[in-house]
Amino acid sequence: MDKLTDNQIAWRAAQDIADGAYVNLGIGLPEKVAQYQPPGREAVFHTENGILNFGESPASGAEDWDLINAGKKAVTLKPGASFFHHADSFAMVRGGHLDVAILGAYEVAQNGDLANWSTGPKGVPAVGGAMDLVHGAKRVAVITGHVTRDGRPKLLERCTLPLTGVGCVTRVYTSLAVIDVADGRFVLREKLPALSIDALQAVTGARLLTPGPVADLICPEL
Amino acid sequence: MERGNALDKTVTDVAAAVADIPDGASVMIGGFGGAGSPIELIHALIDRFRATGHPAGLTVINNNAGNGHVGLAALIEAGMVRKLICSFPRSADPVVFTQAYQEGRIELELVPQGTLAERIRAGGAGIPAFYTPSSFGTDLAAGKPVELFEGRSYVRERWLKADFALVKAETADTHGNLTYRAASRNFGPLMCMAAAIAVVQARRVLPAGGIDPEQVITPGIFVQRVVEVARPVQEEDLNRARATYPLEAE
């Protein structure tokens, strides 16, 4: 089955970020969204360890290890950047000041529940800021492959893994489709043009509703 | 009239700065990963432990659980830490904590990062508990009181205080007013508030008046000790050089 690359999923998610938006991107795949801001728009990116308006990584050898993002990667600053302590940083998160938070997912349920921090009791548990980031932003979006590496659905009626947050996700960008969470159900908004709704439903673990038109999901080659 | 010198909070060296931290103490350690990690103060504490057997049985509060074999990781590797309260005990090289945890030698209290920050802030602000949406409906809220506000559910969390804080600042004055460098600020201002004795290492220590009051990030009322560490090491640099405690020429 044809599917979007990670870069293309990130590109699609970036198209929904408005000019002037304050945005937190989760570690990993969501970080790619920053590369695809549409021309003419400027978003301010927040990293929960204490920077607003950070930019790309510096050249190798030019890293300043006091200037890192939440993934502990070296970053640079853009004009208008600011530093702040952790209590202020999470006030921005929980206090409703961010426009968008974009996270990765192990599982998303049709009621908006998200599981993205733990794959079970094995190993050392670690949560970081995930449980805070799912609360407070005006939109909480997920970007993810539509299925797991071994082909199992990630969009489910109910999450099976430990939850990060309850009823928090509002939109999911996958490698096959764009799906909203509305009134406890998945609503299909866009899908790859060559993919039938039946074929998409077959790799989705919960019913997809189509109350309105389903647009073609078309991305540039990335 | 002569002024007293009780407001001069400087101490001579890092060894003196941590000389009275007792067995069983709770110690907040600043930093997010390597940014803001007060490596020299941590290593002075390990030096003391190697020389005297004290302090042991510490409860450490930090965002992470150390990386490599320096700083907090070395403190754990020395066997000085009984319990760790943190949000993310993983790193590029987490072997020290992971082994101690899997062998049952260290207790872990896992706290969402924003809740950890707010618990520390609350401890410093005299607020014994607060409600947060974070962790509602998850395993980390198990057993905690929940209340509805404006139709949403919030979890009650308690303040977090400590006997000591070890914090890295950029500039201090003798009164303990502080500035920080870039994103190394992270937990420093909160931990200084929440600890009975906040011990700060700063790259420069200036006379009172040396920091423009407009630029002070942590007011000196929250700081009890200041020690100058003019050329602090950085955890990330140490790990890239595969350094281990004790550092050469330290």
DSSP string, A178-208: EEEEETTEEEEEEE-TTS-HHHHHHT-BSPE
Alpha carbon distance B114, A129 (integer Å): 6
- Identity of the residue in B35, B112, B121 whose CB atom sits nearest the CB atom of A87: B121
Is A43 within the bounds of a domain? yes
Q: Is A20 exposed, middle or buried (0-12, 13-18, 19+ CB in 10 A)?
A: exposed
- The average pLDDT across B41-66 equals 98
Reported as a pLDDT band with limits 50, 70 and 90, residue B244 is very high
Q: How many domains does chain A have?
A: 1
Partner-chain contact B190 A86, CB within 8 Å: yes
Find out if CATH 3.40.50.720 is the number for domain B23-110+161-231: no
Q: Quote the percentage of chain B above a pLDDT of 90.
A: 96
For chain B, what are the domain ranges? Answer: 23-110+161-231
Alpha carbon distance B175, B30 (integer Å): 20
With beta carbons under 8 A apart, name residues in chain B contacting A163.
137-139
Q: 142-161 in B: which are within 8 Å (CB) of A?
A: 153
Catalytic residues of A: 48
Residue B5, pLDDT score: 84
Residue A1, pLDDT score: 67
CATH code of A60's domain: 3.40.1080.10
Alpha carbon distance B184, A119 (integer Å): 31
Alpha carbon distance B222, B240 (integer Å): 34
Is A1 within the bounds of a domain? no
Asked if B31 and B62 touch (Cβ cutoff 8 Å), the reply is: yes
- Which residues are registered as beta bridge partners of B206? B173
Structure letter (DSSP) for residue A100:
E
Averaged confidence pLDDT in chain B: 96
Q: What is the pLDDT of residues B106-137, one digit of tens each?
A: 999 999 999 999 999 999 999 999 999 999 99
Tell me, rounded to whole angstroms, the distance of Cα A109 from its chain centroid: 15
Residue B101 has pLDDT above 60, yes or no: yes
* CA B217, B219, B224, B227 torsion-angle sign: positive
Reported as a pLDDT band with limits 50, 70 and 90, residue B2 is low
Query: What residue in A sits closest to B133 (Cα-Cα)?
Result: A135
Is A98 within the bounds of a domain? yes
Which residue type is seen at A211? P
**ω into residue A30 within 30 of 0, thus cis?**
no
Alpha carbon distance B157, A183 (integer Å): 30
Flag residues of chain A having pLDDT under 50: none
Is A221 within the bounds of a domain? no
Is A67 within the bounds of a domain? yes
In angstroms, the Cα distances linking A152 to A9, A66, A167, B64, B142 are 19, 40, 22, 32, 29
Q: What is the pLDDT of residues B168-206, one digit of tens each?
A: 999 999 999 999 999 999 999 999 999 999 999 999 999
Which domain range does residue A96 map to?
6-216
